[in-house]
Amino acid sequence: MRLRTLTLVAAAGLLANTAAAETVIDVLSINRDSATWKQLYLDVVEQYNAANDGVTVNLQFMEDESFKQKLPTLLQSDAAPDLFFSWSGGVFYEQAEQGFLRPIPDATIEDWKGDLSAGGLAALSYKGKFYGAPESSQNVAIWYNKDLAAQVGVDPSSIKTYDDFLDQVTKAKAAGVTPIIVGGQDKWPLHFYYSLIAMRIMGQDGMAASAAGENGGFDNEDWVRAGVEFKRLIDLEPFQDGFMGIKYDGATGLWGDGKGLFHLMGDWDLGAQRGASTSGGLSNEQLGVVAFPMIDGGRGAITDTLGGASGFVVTANAPDEAIDFLKVFMGVDAQKRAASEGIYIPTVPSAGSLVEDTILKQFAAIGGASTYHQLFLDQFYGSTLGGAINDVSAQLATGDITPEEAAKHLEETRQFQ
């Protein structure tokens, strides 16, 4: 009886050790509406799981706004993912400062630098420590529908000034064509307008001064003018009906279905509009891209860009295997495939030359000519001030706040965050 008991105990111990050897890596990504982008992720996960006995990677996708809202709670719980998507910037800095992230060993980073983008790695570093691996760089520009432009009788490629843009918006409206598609419910698509207008008005030095609280911070004539110029566009009623009741995913579907002339969005929208469209989306031949125009008297440059430097970061309690998978997930082979299939503009230097898609090449050229690259303001300024930027952008669009009130609210938020 004792022998049988010992045998059962030994067997139970063996099963426990076997179970303990199984490592699960939970990865949380924002939605990838592009079918090819999502498939790339799924393929990398499947191949990694097949090649690594005892390790299982679970990949989950979450809609952008839900991701932003739920992540802070997840990071404070036992349900925290081991890896998650990051836009870098101030929100990332807050997560690192609060101890939610795990530093990647210095020796590992030195090894990675031979393959991955040094600039991209730097975007996911804080106070000398690296917390993630970069994937893609993004730039925001004005997309236009060539078919609708011909119908309206305008040439968006000729847009150089903000007045040029407003003139074409007016002509589209008069021709019965919706000038602009936007997902107002998510707010961040509206913040692109407010942000780029501010950048064109005050330039890099002015944007930096606001962040530092100089010249009144955000409560100054430049930010008031940014609101005034944004309101000039809003007063033309340029967006589709019910724009504040539709999220980005729905809006990019409308754009892909050819429902509007313009769409201010990042390069990721190439695949996203096709994935969300009910008709297969707009072809490269139907699409055009132009940089956001200059504001009269502005101190910025048309080559100043707004965008991101994104990737995935490691959470504080993640196992070592998560770091191993991260290198593969964001690695050279995956990014080369992304480049060659026109999925996104990669950060890996050896993959850049493989970008053949005509539209992504235009975005790559915009990024390559950038004189000052500003991270998305809702990410750059951190969750509190960044959230306020989104809020006032939406309130300006609905007429619920004046340009003066918006500027004052941003400065009050900056002071008390």
pLDDT tens column, 203-253: 999 999 999 999 999 999 999 999 999 999 999 999 999 999 999 999 999
Domain extents for the chain?
Answer: 2-137+308-361, 139-306+372-416
Q: How far apart are CA 394 and CA 57, in angstroms?
A: 38
| Phi, psi of 218, deg, nearest 5 | -95, -15
Please state the rounded mean pLDDT for residues 113-120. 84
* DSSP state string for 352-394: GGG---HHHHHHHHHHHT-SEEEE-HHHHTHHHHHHHHHHHHH
Is 367 a residue whose pLDDT tops 80?
yes
CATH superfamily, domain 139-306+372-416, is Periplasmic binding protein-like II (3.40.190.10)
Q: What average pLDDT does this structure show over 366-379?
A: 90
Look at residues 112, 16, 27 and name the one whose alpha carbon lies nearest to residue 67.
27
Q: Closest Cα partner for 84 from 329, 270, 374?
A: 329
Class at the top of the CATH hierarchy for domain 2-137+308-361 = alpha beta
* pLDDT tens sequence across 149-174: 999 999 999 999 999 999 999 999 99
**Do 2-137+308-361 and 139-306+372-416 show the same overall fold?**
yes
Task: Evaluate if residue 14 carries a pLDDT over 50.
Answer: no
Question: CA-CA distance, 357 to 342, in Å (whole number)?
Answer: 5
What pTM, to 2 d.p., does this model score?
Answer: 0.85
Per the CB < 8 A criterion, the answer to whether 135 and 347 are in contact is yes
Q: Which residue has the tokens 């307008």?
A: 193
pLDDT given for residue 21 in this prediction:
58
**Amino acid at position 318, single letter:** A
Q: Which residues pair with 83 in a beta bridge?
A: 27, 314
